[in-house]
Structure 1
């Protein structure tokens, strides 16, 4: 499961669709509608806010907005709840940079023209749900690669 902190504009068609499906799965997990993925680390940041279902709904709405801007039709009725007032979660600059490198590797293999288009961006915009703060890769990130000396990254 990858619930991107990056703005959905950077995702290729496959990434946007996968993010939609995986965030719908996260919504089901947070609603208690499935037994799988209940301990998935990506959900920690949503569970940490007062309205986890509203936050995941806001994330889904951002993906749906991007899909609509591209002419895709994602079923907005699948977003069960939005927060009121709208929530803003924090994402660290280190987490955003980590996800950016991860996405650029995926795009290089799957959509090289997009990788070339976005390759000059140093730090991308975050998904509208998030506000960027200084900091390292998030503690819940399990896919963090080792540093150049083979050590785990500083958290």
Structure 2
């Protein structure tokens, strides 16, 4: 039996935390699979649609994860026409043109924070918080998908 790396141990401890379990039990999100350093989650939107996110978590929690929209059924990147639609904030965060769809355009994302030093002052509540961990990122996505900005997805 292989011994888990320290970053995976911290990640799994965050999955056992009350804040993660509360979000899961209330239907906000669910863990689909962990194949370290990757983890797939489903996040529920206001209309009941579940959006998959595949996180890459190397160096967790010290290093922020990065997440891309994921087709849970196909175990592959989500087709661009299935990404959530919105009025203003959602098209910014869920932008398949940003880094070829490899991540969400959010201050808590490892790839997106690069080159955005201004976000630390402009969006402090959205910056990755290693003490909260994966729940922080999931909350941000859930809040977006359950905001008045969310318009569903185009089929």
**TM-score band, normalised by shorter chain:** under 0.3
Which structure shows the bigger proportion of residues in strand conformation? 2
Which structure shows the bigger proportion of residues in helix conformation? 1
Query: TM-score, structure 1 length as denominator?
Result: 0.25
Q: Which has the higher contact order (CA 8 A, sep 6+)?
A: 1
Query: TM-score, structure 2 length as denominator?
Result: 0.25
